[in-house]
Structure formats: structure tokens, C-alpha cells
Structure 1
């Protein structure tokens, strides 16, 4: 009997020590969670607690640029066209452009194209698949772009990989693992994804958000949208903002000297746009517009500026004018909202 009693006591002691050890682990885990202030899902004693800290969404002031599609016609090879488009895209990224508008400003160029799309609009061959294929074949002509791996937002392409019913789609965001999002979408769509941390899960999850949310929520520049306008007038009439652009600027060698505008001397703006002309200038684009009734581009803009006074060359290429103008205007702009909380690398 004695030995059996001793054995029973050891079993009881073992069970007690195991329970105490488990309890100590739970207390330690609770302290760690409180210290880290983790707002995620945690399970303790069978109960589930969900805590999410909402991000503040800020208003931002936007900057758009409009360039004529005819500038690519002057490039005499696919290589030069790709390089030219890359230069303009790079300038847009450097100066944090929110919207780029490509407008058709030369009616002669339109008549040279006999092909029409399904809406009866002229097809711009320089924007068609061969040019796209060439840019893919020649990555050396374009500049790379990247974001931090740990950043909360990503751009991605929806895939056709299967998921469980009600579990959304799988998106390739360029990470080591694909991301499962909250919506069922058809394959091949470009989407903006906000990653949602899931502690202890091997899968990456996220939600589909508007492309404007990363900058509005974090202040990080997130690239620009591209819009096609069939005329100079459509640049303004089809603006994506409810009240249009509240600051319009035209650039021309016949404009007013930009040096006469003091630092931060332009009117306060919410949505500003800068319009560039082609080889023949904005005057030719205005003359070929069938809707606009004004005959002087000065009347079309709030400010009509010469951004490179006393230039040494007879003409300035559009891609050069974009860099020069945005660099000069950067010191003159007076945005209504501050967009400089964070910059993209």
C-alpha cells in the first residue's frame, strides 16, 4: 500500500506543476500582448477579441499634367518612343503627379490614321500593342520602381488560382507569397491591396482598396492615373474631380515670365493642372479644337507662363519643358492641403 500511495502523490504533484506552468505561460503571454499593444485577434481561455485601430484619412491637393499625344510621332523608332515615354513617366513620378492626360491636339495627325476603334474614335498606333511589346522587350529603356517590402499597401494582379468558397481571390503582389483578398474578382485585373496582418497564419491576407487610399491614409506618393482626351477642351470638361480644376496653367514661350511670380505666389489650389503643347504649341491645339470658342490660349488658363525665359535654344522639347516647368512651379505652388508627410522611395 505504501509504495502505491507514494506513486499517487507524485502523479498529483506532476499535474499541479503542469497546471501552474500553463498558467504562468498564459500570464506571460497576456503581459507581452499588453506591452506590445497589438491590435489583432488573440485567443485566450477560449474567448476571441478583435481590436482594429482605424487610420486617419487626409485630404490631399492634387497636381495633373496634360501632354499632346503627337510628341511620340517625332520619335523615329520604337526605341526612341519607349525612351521618350519613360522620360515623361519618370518626370511625373519625381514631381508626384496624380493624373496624366494625353490629349489629341493636332487634327492633321488624326486624319493620317484611317483605323477607328469601336466607338468611332481614332486609334493612336503609338499606344497600341507593338509599342507595349517593345517596352517589355526593352526593360533597359525604362526606369525601375519599387516600394518597401514591409509597406502596408501593394499593387497586384488578380490570378485564376482556386480558393475556398467565400474566401475571395488570389492576388500576385510581387511578394514571396500571394495575397488572398476579400473580393471575388476576374483574373488579370490590376488592384490596390491593403495587407491585413494575421498573427500565426501562414497565409497573407488583404482587402481591395481604391488607388487613392495609400496617399490619403499615409501621405506616401502612389503614382498617377492616365486619361485620354480627344481634344484640348476635353482635358477640362472630363476632369475626374466634381468641381474640376481650381488652378489651370498653360506653358508657352509666349507666356508671362514665371520669374515675376514670387515664392508660393500662385493661388491656393485643391486640384491644379499644367498643360503642355507639342511642337506647334498650345496655340495650334486650341485652333484645331472644334468645341472651344476662345481663340487666344491666354483666355483658357488662369496663368499662361513662360517657364524658361531667355532660353538659349530656339525650341524646347515637350519632355524637356515638363522637367523645367515642374521644377520652377514647385516653388510657386501654394497647395491647400499638405502632402509631404512621407515620400516614396
Structure 2
């Protein structure tokens, strides 16, 4: 019987063990320059109805939120594709089994909010009973109390005068300073603030730190930070487009379907569906269990307008996995696959900024 000799790894002498700290994550978002372009995704709330238990419904919403955080999605649109019935909320406003569109919107909104602001902005609600146990999104605006950033998210605490100037005291998660903006805000109003240039930790902790209230887009446009995603509901597929928050709407839209062109076409110059890296507002729309075709058929506005087919709504109509082995790709899977595929196009757009 041959003896077994254990094989030990040789130490890597090239590593400087005195300086290498493996106790903390190293993938910290570092902005390089301002970003004017945005990425939006749209998906139907009916995917929540397809999940059986409350736990599954909550976990599904968490998967979508994680994908949005990882790939820096700026806007999420939850639309009604007509494939799930809705009814008034159950006891105490519980919507997991009565209104899947609102439930998905509600959980996504909660997860995007910085943890230190959630208790103020989201009173206890049965929809969110399990949301606190979901994996953290840990986005750049989810700052710890001892972290410094030139921007922060804050919530209005009370109106007050500071050195004779009327304004509002805010809670932004800084433990050593009160934060003040010279703007009158209603209590529990969420706002984005720009901190003064000097380090607030060197300020007199007894005085309020005066900041500037800015648009939620400012951290992205001025400094290039990924600053989370906004969430909106759309009553139909067509409303995803007609209720766009950007002036002029989305200049490029991508529809996803197993009947579309291979997704590689959006990355290859000369192919049908190629996307030039010059767009400003990109929208990617995912279908539910029955696909975008079902959402199109249920949309009365599109039917009255005489749109011949759902693919005519989009600039590009793609198949994310042309060689799929499973009969179906779930929407939450399609979001991860689609954003991974698009990451090359997004990087090209960032380089052309």
C-alpha cells in the first residue's frame, strides 16, 4: 500500500503580508468623472405573483435589487403587464398576495434607502417584515457613520434657525455633527446634501454643519458616483415610455425575448441592433412569465394605436441566451444575464462620456 504524502502549498513570498489587509472588502466604488447618461430597467410586478410564499416573494425582490446595485442601475420601473390580478390590500396594508406590482415597488424602494434612514422613512409595514434579512445592497450612498463623502442622503428632522438663518436640521448618519440646510423642509423629507469642502470631523461638534441641498442626480452628474436607483410604477407597458422622467424620454430602448436577435448584435458594429455608445438614457425591458408579448396584448393604449407587434416598440429586440438549455429563463435571472451582457456596452458608453 503506497503511503500518502500531503502536498503543502509553498508560501508566496511575493505578497507583503505586513501591508495586505484582507479583513475588509476592497471593491469600493471610486468615481472618476461626472456621468450624464443613465441606465433604466423595467420589469413586470407579476413575477411576484408567480412566487408562492411570502419568503419567496421577498427573496425575489432582493435578487432584483442586488442586480441593480451591482450594475449601477439608475431607475427601476415596475409595470403592470396584465398577467396578475390585483385587489385591495389585506390587513394593515399587506400586498404580497393582493398587489404584486406595489409589493415589488415597496420592497425595492426600501432596500435602496440608506439603512440609517429606513426607520424614519418606512414605518413598520407587513410588506417589509422580512426585507431587513435580505442581502445588503451596500451602495455608495449607504454610508457608515464614520465614513466621509462629499454627498450624503439625509432626512429632515425639524425646522430651526441657525445663527439667525431659517432652515432645517437633518439626520444624515453622522454621529458627531448636526447637519443644517438653509431650506425649509417638511419633517421626514428625504434629500441629498452636499457637504462643505472641509472635513466635518474637524468641526466643532457643538455647532451645526451647514450643507447644501441638491438634486439626487448631482452626485452622479458632478462627481460620477453611483447614487442608487429611483423606483416608479407604470400602469401598463406603454406607460413605461410615456411617463419617462427624462426630457425627451429614453433615446435607446431594448426589448428582451427568446424570439429576438442574439444579444451579441448590440455589441457588434454593422449588425442589426448595434448600439452606438452615444446614447443618453438607455432602457432595458424584461418580460414576465408570458413574455413581453402578453404585456403588449393586455395594453389597451397600444392596441388602439395600432402598433403591429411588441418588438416595434423597441430600438433593439434581443435574445439574451440564444442557446438556453432550460425551457424558461426566469425574469430575475434575465435581469442578471441581461445586465452582464450589457456591461460591455455600458463600459463603452462610459469611455465616450
TM-score for the superposition, normalised by structure 2: 0.71
Q: Could you tell me whether the CA contact under 8 Å between 1:253 and 1:305 is conserved in 2?
A: yes
- The one of 300, 316, 319 aligned to 2:329: 316
Question: What's 1:304 paired with?
Answer: 317
Mapped to 2, the partners of 1:239 and 1:138 lie a distance apart of: 28
1:169-248 correspondence runs (5 A): 169-176=168-175, 177-196=177-196, 197=198, 200-202=203-205, 203-248=208-253
Question: What's 2:339 paired with?
Answer: 326
Change (3 A) 1:137 1:298: closer
Q: Could you tell me whether the CA contact under 8 Å between 1:60 and 1:338 is conserved in 2?
A: no
Question: What's 1:64 paired with?
Answer: 40
Other structure's SS at 1:254 match: strand
Question: What's 1:92 paired with?
Answer: 68
Change (3 A) 1:180 1:239: same
What is the Cα deviation at residue 246 of structure 1? 1.1
Question: What's 1:34 paired with?
Answer: none
Deviation string, structure 1 residues 269-304 (Cα, Å, up to 9, x no partner): 111100000000000000000111313122111110
Deviation string, structure 1 residues 206-248 (Cα, Å, up to 9, x no partner): 1110000001111111011111111100111111111111111
Mapped to 1, the partners of 2:42 and 2:80 lie a distance apart of: 10
Change (3 A) 1:262 1:208: closer
Q: Could you tell me whether the CA contact under 8 Å between 1:193 and 1:209 is conserved in 2?
A: yes
- The one of 140, 147, 164 aligned to 2:143: 147
Question: What's 2:5 paired with?
Answer: none
Other structure's SS at 2:211 match: strand
Other structure's SS at 2:344 match: coil
Mapped to 2, the partners of 1:333 and 1:186 lie a distance apart of: 38
Moved more, 319-328 or 131-140: 131-140
Q: Could you tell me whether the CA contact under 8 Å between 1:67 and 1:102 is conserved in 2?
A: yes
Alignment RMSD (CA, Å):
2.9
Change (3 A) 1:95 1:178: same
1:1-345 correspondence runs (5 A): 58=34, 60-106=36-82, 109-110=84-85, 112-113=86-87, 124=101, 126=103, 132-135=125-128, 138-145=131-138, 146-147=142-143, 149-160=147-158, 162-164=160-162, 166-176=165-175, 177-196=177-196, 197=198, 200-202=203-205, 203-263=208-268, 265-267=274-276, 268-292=278-302, 293-333=306-346, 338=351
TM-score for the superposition, normalised by structure 1: 0.72
What is the count of residue pairs matched by the alignment?
Answer: 278
Change (3 A) 1:157 1:248: same
What is the Cα deviation at residue 147 of structure 1? 3.4
Change (3 A) 1:296 1:269: same
What is the Cα deviation at residue 134 of structure 1? 4.7
Change (3 A) 1:323 1:200: closer
Other structure's SS at 1:228 match: strand
Q: Could you tell me whether the CA contact under 8 Å between 2:159 and 2:166 is conserved in 1?
A: no
Q: Could you tell me whether the CA contact under 8 Å between 1:266 and 1:334 is conserved in 2?
A: no
What is the Cα deviation at residue 138 of structure 1? 4.6
Change (3 A) 1:171 1:66: same
Unaligned runs of 5+ in 2: 1-32, 107-121
Question: What's 1:50 paired with?
Answer: none
Q: Could you tell me whether the CA contact under 8 Å between 1:252 and 1:281 is conserved in 2?
A: yes
Larger radius of gyration: 1
